[in-house]
Amino acid sequence: MSDSIALDEPSSVANATSIFDRRFRRVAFAVLLLVALSAFEGLSVAAALPQVAASLGHVEMLPWVITSYLLTAGVSTVAAGSLIDRIGIAKVFRGSVILLIIGGVLAGLAPSMATLVLARAIHGAGAGAVNAVGLSAVGLVFPRHLIGRAFAANTNVWGAMSVGGPALASVLLTFASWRWIFLVNLPLGAIALVAGWNALPPPAHEGRGAALRTVDLGLLAGFTFFVLFAVDALDGRSLLALGAAVVCGIAVVRRNRGREDAVIAPRHALDAPLGPLAWGIALMLMAGIGVQTFVPLFVSAGHGGGTALTAWSVVFFVLGWTGGANIVSRLSERVSPLNVMLGGTVLLSCALFAIAGIAASGAPLPALFVLLVLAGSGIGGSTNAGLTLLRDLVTDDELGRATAAHQFLRNLGFAMGNALVGSVLLFVVGTLMGDVERIREVLGRADGVPLNAEISAAVQTGFAVAALVSAVVCLGALAPLWRVRQHIRQA
């Protein structure tokens, strides 16, 4: 007899008071294991970037260690959405976790930066599908009054991993090497695979979801790649890449408009209210996540932080994210999700402007860490509210595709943020120093060895400029969110 939960759960679930109620316990456990795995990856890889750059060189490719992961994660999230609606979460879960493990192991064994970027692309393909599974399972299994708590529980795991993840990363980076940051995917992935193998629900109507359309997925991948390349290059090639992205994007919209089997339906990604909702969150993530990702590089190369401090520097943003999400989940019955998102956007933009000032002035790191908590709380509250609002706006039979489209644009925001902040930071450093590879001189030094003041100042300036650009991007998120407000008022 299967322990999975059917999608047509009786109305008696309305009296459930916890996501760990016996009717949801196995699903909750499986989903939270996935979140823990994703959280460790997100926190530890950023902490490992300084050692990766020092070990493999080709610093100009460093942003692509994360960007390639996010690129394929976005596309695989969309593919997983169609597959979830068609064949069910359980089957998608099994395949995606196996792919995640394979990509992690290949990344850990990578002999060069180029090989690592390729392995991370494979890793991301598994991770994107895993994320789609986790988000869809929350909406399909838990009753409406527990959805906010389920998303908050996901964030709580991130919060717990904000302590456990950097602690483990610090140990691995100090006593082993950066390679174990990726190789640890093998045991953690295996535990998640075993725990969730039969815990997730079967499809409501197998075979009735949207078919997997490979041409459209290819166009979507092309759109994503060209956008990220344009942001990363920041030169004449950017215009050509943006042109190619526009061509791919138009083709995707035309091929999918009005189709029930759309890989990404325009009503989910462009039309109000779902499109502006997703783009508003994507711009917020673009603004905040890129800055967060390169905090370890700033701490190490800009302030001379040792291995432990560099690993722990990722904690503060995540603590803020956790706190913001939990506060919002408790206020969900009294404050509208949209008002939360507008307030969170303003908070994040103010924090980023302040971070730019702190970085440029050379102020002590504790001031930066406080601002990262504020920035994280703005994003944490807003994204949690956005997911709750998304669930309110779609029906069960298209939840997988709507969630996948939403997650694709979130991943695009993650990827664009990493590409933008990385390219701006490295461009400024290369301009000031003449050769961006000189960063390796400070990244490869032993703890306690004095910093090169010239390189340190260049990194501080580059990070400050990148944070300033991100703050402006964040303000841009207000426009699509206001469009959502107008649509809801008119409906």
Q: What is the mean pLDDT of residues 406-416?
A: 86
Q: Is residue 271 part of a domain?
A: yes
pLDDT of residue 330: 80
**pLDDT of 300 above 50:** yes
Confidence of residue 17 (pLDDT cuts 50, 70, 90): low
Percent of the chain whose predicted confidence (pLDDT) is above 70 = 91
- Provide the residue type at 249 as one letter: G
The arithmetic mean of pLDDT across residues 325-346, rounded, is: 87
Cα separations in angstroms, 279 against 272, 284, 479, 488: 11, 9, 10, 16
pLDDT of residue 438: 83
Instruction: Print the domain residue range for 279.
Output: 23-490
pLDDT of residue 475: 97
Residue 2's pLDDT is what? 45
Model pLDDT, residue 12: 54
Distance CA 383, CA 385 (A): 5
pLDDT > 90 in the chain, percent: 41
Residue in 337, 426, 433 with CA at minimum distance from that of residue 385 = 337
Structure tokens at 148: 């906010």
Position 331 scores a pLDDT of: 79
Weakest-pLDDT range from 189-203, 268-282, 458-472:
189-203
Residue 244: per-residue pLDDT:
96
Return the CATH number at 155. 1.20.1250.20
In order of 83, 84, 214, 283, 425, the CA distances from 88 in angstroms are 7, 4, 19, 31, 43
Is residue 300 in a domain?
yes
CA dihedral for 78, 290, 292, 474, sign (positive or negative): negative
**pLDDT of amino acid 9:** 47
Number of domains comprising the chain? 1
> Does 6 reside within a domain?
no
CA distances from 438 to 54, 210, 396, 444, 454 (A): 10, 50, 53, 10, 10
Nearest Cα residue to 90 out of 131, 137, 124? 137
User: Would you state the pLDDT for residue 206?
Assistant: 55
Quote the pLDDT of residue 179.
94
Q: Can you give the pLDDT at residue 191?
A: 81
Looking at residue 449, its pLDDT comes to 61
Q: Is the dihedral of CA 159, 98, 80, 106 positive or negative?
A: positive
State residue 205's pLDDT score: 55
Model confidence over 61-101: pLDDT tens digits? 999 999 899 889 878 887 887 788 778 888 888 888 899 89
Decide if 10 is inside a domain.
no
Q: Is the separation of the CB atoms in 69 and 181 below 8 Å? A: no
Beta-carbon contacts of 175 under 8 Å, excluding residues fewer than 6 positions away, are none
Q: What is the pLDDT of residues 419-441, one digit of tens each?
A: 999 999 999 999 999 888 888 77
**In-domain check, residue 109:** yes
Structure tokens at 94: 């099994």
pLDDT tens digits, 350-383: 999 999 999 999 899 999 999 999 999 999 999 9
Question: How large is the average pLDDT for residues 453-463?
Answer: 93
CB within 8 A of 157, min separation 6: which ones?
A: 32, 35, 36, 39
C-alpha 157/C-alpha 43 separation (Å) is 12
Computed over every residue of the chain, the mean pLDDT equals: 85
Residue type, position 277, single letter: L
| Structure confidence by residue, pLDDT tens digits, 137-179 | 777 777 777 777 787 787 778 767 767 777 788 888 888 889 9
CA separation, residue 323 to residues 164, 236, 280, 373, 438 (Å): 17, 42, 21, 9, 38
pLDDT beyond 90 at 342: yes
Give a three-class secondary structure readout of the chain: CCCCCCCCCCHHHHHCCCCCCCCCHHHHHHHHHHHHHHHHHHHHHHHHHHHHHHHHCCHHHCHHHHHHHHHHHHHHHHHHHHHHHHHCHHHHHHHHHHHHHHHHHHHHCCCCHHHHHHHHHHHHHHHHHHHHHHHHHHHHHCCHHHHHHHHHHHHHHHHHHHHHHHHHHHHHHHHCCCHHHHHCHHHHHHHHHHHHCCCCCCCCCCCCCCCCCHHHHHHHHHHHHHHHHHHHHCCHHHHHHHHHHHHHHHHHHHHHCCCCCCCCCHHHHCCCCHHHHHHHHHHHHHHHHHHHHCHHHHHHHHHCCCHHHHHHCCHHHHHHHHHHHHHHHHHCCCCCHHHHHHHHHHHHHHHHHHHHHHHHHCCCHHHHHHHHHHHHHHHHHHHHHHHHHHHHHCCHHHHHHHHHHHHHHHHHHHHHHHHHHHHHHHHHHHHHHCCHHHHHHHHCCCCCCCCCHHHHHHHHHHHHHHHHHHHHHHHHCHHHHHHHHHHHHHC
Q: Do the beta carbons of residue 247 and residue 462 sit within 8 Å?
A: no
In the prediction, which pLDDT does 391 show? 81
Domain membership of residue 401 (yes or no) is yes
Q: Which residues contact 84 (CB under 8 A, 6 or more apart)?
A: 92, 132, 133, 136, 203, 209, 400, 404
Question: CA–CA separation, 227 vs 75, rounded Å?
Answer: 13
Question: Do 71 and 221 form a contact (C-beta atoms < 8 A)?
Answer: yes
pLDDT in tens, 234-261: 788 999 999 999 999 999 999 988 887 7
Residue in 92, 89, 90, 122 with CA at minimum distance from that of residue 104 = 122
Residue 38 in this model has a pLDDT that exceeds 90: no
Encode pLDDT of 194-215 as tens digits.
877 777 766 655 555 556 678 9
